[in-house]
Every structure is written in structure tokens, then in C-alpha cells.
Structure 1
Amino acid sequence: MRLILLLFLALSALTAPPAVACTGAEECPLGERAYHVREPDGWDGRSPLPVMLHFHGWGRQGETIMGHPRIAGATVPRGVLLVAPDGLGRSWDFRRAGSRDTPFARAVLADVARRYPTAGQPLIVSGYSWGALMAARFACEGEADIAALLLVSGAFPPSVSCDAAPVPARVSHVHGLTDGVLDFPYGPGGEDTHAVALWRARMGCDAPEARRFDWQAVSWLTHDRREWDCAGGRVTMDIHPASHLIPRGWFAQVLDEVLDAR
């Protein structure tokens, strides 16, 4: 009887369906917290994957990002693995150095590296609103080599200490002039690129802007682009007339620029 039971258990193990991978709406548990991941379209299960670590806005969770047309809609067709941690209380601890969320984000990346072939691939860190502030906090103390830091509607003032971490290869910021949630960050005398002052100083952008031009992803929203070529990489600032939002096509445009520069 015992032999029959053992044979039954062995057969059940062989015929049991594989464990469901944590993708999309299926969260990836990590200690007492969790994150979400979405694979790019057509991935063959073996090819190396660049990663975009995205910090959601206040009141959201990583699951929201997995179906977001302006975020996932940009990573999925471009061969980028989208990773979105869950903030405690649907928020982030970004105001001071020593954030509890920085080691968590590092642990998320380590767990992703165990599941996916990401070693040696570009790490893109992004965030929206309070998530942009958390992305900046992670860049300032995350001890990670960041290929690009993409910040939407959330900016650290230049007084924030950000000297210990590696310098990102690129920083891109976008902000709306009529933002009523996190006001457009004008500098002294109404200077309108104050949002990237921290990064320009950090990356050695001593020269004036190298280029300025307008571009559109949709006909109803024009971005005023400023670009600086710096000792440590490139800084860009996109200014638009709308409010507190992720502009349609912005992530797609900037990801194309980042990936084409590889």
C-alpha cells in the first residue's frame, strides 16, 4: 500500500502543471512585500533583457503599471522588461537619505536577475509624480549603475545631497507648466530648467544647453526640449503646457533615444 502511495505521489509530481510565472497582474512576492513584472512582446525566453524599474505614483501599485498604455505600452514592443515594485501604503519613502524603499528596490532587481537574463544589460529607472521622487532617491543612494533616469512630474531641488551614488549616463525630465499637484519647479528669476539643476551639476554640465527644439508625439501637445551634453552623459528637459500627467508618447520617445544610444 505504501509503495502504491509513493508511486501515486511521484506520478502526480510528474504530471502537475508548472508553477505560474509572476507576470502582469500576478505579483512576485518578496519577503513581506511584492513587485510586478511584464515581459516584452515576442521574447524568446533566453535573450538578454534591458530592465526598466518604474516607481508608481501616489495611491497606485505596481499592478497598475503592468497595463498602463503610456508605460507598459512603451516597454513591451521595445524588448524592455518592465519591473514595478509596490510601495508601502501605496506611497514611497523618498524625503530623506536612508529610505526603506531603496534596499527593497535593490532586492527587487536582484530577484529579477534570478528570474531573467538581465546581467550586463542597461538599467533604466523611472517614476511618475511621487514615484519620480522615489526614482531620484534610488539614483542618489541606490549604488546601481543606471543607464537612464526618466522622471515625470516630480523633481528634487538642487540642494538635495546626491554625491555618493554612481552618475546616471542620462537623465530625462518632463513636466507640465500647469501642473497643480507638483507645481512646475521654476528656479530663481523664473528659470524654467530648474528641475534638472541637480543632475546638471552632478553630471558636469558646465556648458549652456547644446540643443533646443520642439517635438510632438501627438498633435495636441508640443514639448519644448532642452538638451545638455555633459562630462558624465546627457541631460534633457521636456516642458509642455499640460498638467500633472504622463504625456502620451513620452516614454516611447525617450526609450527609443536611450536604446538607440547603446
Structure 2
Amino acid sequence: MRIASLVLFLIGLALPARAGDFPDKGDPAEATRRTLATADGPRDYLVQPLPGRGPRPVVILLHGGTQEARQIWKQTSLATIARREGFILVAPNGLDRHWNDGRGATIAAGPPSTADDIGFLLAVIDDVARRDGGDPRTVFMAGVSNGGFMAMAFACSGRFQLKAGANLISNLPAAAVGACKAAPTPWLSLNGTSDSVIPFAGQPAGTVRRGEEQPALLSADETFLFFAARAGCARETLRDRLPDLDPGDGSWVERKTHPCPGARSAVQYIVHNGGHVTPGLALGPVLGRMLGGVNMDVDTGSLLWSFFGDQRR
């Protein structure tokens, strides 16, 4: 197993710690697993249905490369927040633990996926709408790493109008800029300035990482501004530093808010001295340093729903 693949696998096994008043992380044993027939064979997803009738908002959470839905489910608090706030949480599984995110490259073991993941995600949305009362007009999507690239590829396909989207620790491929057909969509981006896997500053074409040539990537700032501009959002009107709940981690979070038409917004979170790991996920000191640093000042699930909930209203 390649080093990059091993590192991402270990992240999947990491136990998320509870800091401050953060909501509890999800328990995948409490989720329902469903299987759909697709052109790529049987595909499955986890869902947390809600009692009563819809329509209900839907949040789709996409795992990182080498991971699976069960792992990302227990790495965020979205399942806990979903029960409290009344939205349906869905975590689909990529084929062979990867998403076909359009990059044509991967820094983990194995060749890039060729699966029709956009078609699969559309089928998941249809299935949740039919069986659980999910509202197809109020679907949010967030992805981590490989899942973040997939969330951007899904939006750029132009085949479905998300209510809002989010890419976490991932940057937009430069080749996607001209081809992106995304409709105006409120957007959230979150990246660490010390990310050792997906550089905050982006990367030029031909960069070799873990022995494999990589495509050009926009910087984290350029990625966020691309989606904010497509949504018609103005320049930032608020830049603030979030409370440093854990000064010992050497990291802090900056938030930039851009107003968008219709009283909506686009938000960028910059995790200064943070690495390739979402805030609020505890890792051992060695693994944390390998990925660029861990931040325990904020809860990623809470950040996501705070943003998504505002767009719904």
C-alpha cells in the first residue's frame, strides 16, 4: 500500500474527539444502508431517515479517497445535527473507495475511477426523495478531499441544481474552469494553509506527487472565488477570526463572508497552520504532522449546517 493510501486509511480509523460543546459525532451503526442497481453494478449509500412526512432538506456527504461512507459518517457531527434540525443525512459510497472526480489522477493506490458517479448521485437523490420525502429542491452537498473534488464535479456537470455546495480540503482542477456548467450556487470552501496533500496555493500541471503526475489545481482562494463569482456574490464584507478554543494546536480559523443575491452568502474558512484533515477530528501527533497539522477550534459539521441552514432560509 502506498504511503498516501496508508495515511488516508489511517485517517478513516481515527477516533474523532469531542471538544468544547461540539455535538457528538455520528454512529454509522444507526444508519440505514441501501443498494441501488447502476450501470457500474450494485452501489450503496447510508441514510438517516426522519419520522413523519416530507418534504425534508437533504445533505449529501461524500467521503475522501480510500475511505467509505461509514468512516466519514463517524468523522462529523452531521448525523446528530440532522436529528435535531430535521434534515436527511445521506453518505454514498464511492466505487472501490474512490470517486471519479474528473482529475484523471489519484495520489492513492490504484488507477482513477471511471464510474458514472454523477449518475449514481442523481439516482441517490431520486431514491431519497421517493422513499424518505427528501426535497429535490433543497439538496446540499459537501465533500472531503476526493469527495470535495467530486462535489465540485457534480456541481459543474450542470445536471442538477444544488441548494448549496461545499468543498473541504480540495481545490478545483484548472481544466474544470472553462468546462464548468454549474448554475449559480451558494458555496462554502474550507482548506488548511499547511495541507501536505492538496496544497493551499494550488499546483501546476505535471506536479509529481507520490510518484504520479498530477493535474493543475487552482489555489484554495481561487477555487472559492470561482464558485462565489458564479453565484453573483460580491467582495467580502466580513473577515473575522474564530475563537481559538485550543491554543495548543498552533492553528486558528479565519472566516471570510461574501454577500450573494437573495440575502444568501458564500463563505470561505481558512484553517491557518491546518493540514489535510477537517477541523474537530483528532489524530495522533505523528499522523497530524504528516498531514500538516490538526485544528480543534471548530466543529466541521456545525460549520456546514450553519451555512446550509442559512441558505435554506
Same fold (TM over 0.5): yes
Q: In structure 2, what is the equivalent of residue 202 of structure 1?
A: 230
Q: Per-residue deviation at 1:186? A: 5.1
Q: Which has the higher contact order (CA 8 A, sep 6+)?
A: 2
What is the identity, as a one-letter code, of the residue corresponding to 2:138?
A: P
* Farther-moved stretch of structure 1 (64-73 vs 142-151): 64-73
Structure 1 pair 117–158 and aligned structure 2 pair: CA distance change class (3 A)? same
Q: Deviations over 1:193-246 (max 9, x none)?
A: 2231321332234x4322111114844453111122235853211111211111
Q: In structure 2, what is the equivalent of residue 180 of structure 1?
A: 196
* Farther-moved stretch of structure 1 (226-235 vs 26-35): 226-235
Q: Deviations over 1:91-132 (max 9, x none)?
A: 011126997100110001111111111235521101000100
Contact 2:138 2:163 in 1 (8 A): yes
- How far, CA to CA, are the matches of 1:203 and 1:147 in structure 2? 11
What pairs with 1:1-262 in structure 2 (closer than 5 Å)?
Answer: 24-31=30-37, 32-39=42-49, 43-95=50-102, 100-119=116-135, 122-157=138-173, 159-160=175-176, 161-168=178-185, 170-185=186-201, 193-205=221-233, 207-216=234-243, 218-220=245-247, 221-231=251-261, 233-240=264-271, 241-248=273-280, 249-261=299-311, 262=313
- How far, CA to CA, are the matches of 1:227 and 1:158 in structure 2? 24
RMSD between aligned residues:
3.0
Structure 1 pair 164–28 and aligned structure 2 pair: CA distance change class (3 A)? same
Contact 1:176 1:244 in 2 (8 A): yes
Query: Which 5+ residue runs of structure 2 have no aligned equivalent?
Result: 1-27, 105-113, 205-218, 281-298
Q: Per-residue deviation at 1:47? A: 4.4
* SS of equivalent residue, structure 2 residue 45: strand
Q: Per-residue deviation at 1:81? A: 0.9
Contact 1:125 1:148 in 2 (8 A): yes
* SS of equivalent residue, structure 2 residue 59: strand
Q: Per-residue deviation at 1:185? A: 3.0
Q: In structure 1, what is the equivalent of residue 16 of structure 2?
A: none
* SS of equivalent residue, structure 1 residue 77: helix
Contact 1:126 1:132 in 2 (8 A): yes
Between the aligned residues of both structures, percent identity stands at 28
Contact 1:185 1:195 in 2 (8 A): no
Q: Deviations over 1:56-87 (max 9, x none)?
A: 10111122233334443443432221111111
Contact 2:137 2:163 in 1 (8 A): no
Q: In structure 1, what is the equivalent of residue 108 of structure 2?
A: none
Structure 1 pair 54–69 and aligned structure 2 pair: CA distance change class (3 A)? closer
Size of the alignment, in residue pairs?
Answer: 235
Structure 1 pair 74–150 and aligned structure 2 pair: CA distance change class (3 A)? farther
Structure 1 pair 171–47 and aligned structure 2 pair: CA distance change class (3 A)? same
With normalisation by structure 2, the TM-score equals 0.66
- How far, CA to CA, are the matches of 1:198 and 1:208 in structure 2? 12
What is the identity, as a one-letter code, of the residue corresponding to 2:69?
A: G
* SS of equivalent residue, structure 1 residue 90: coil
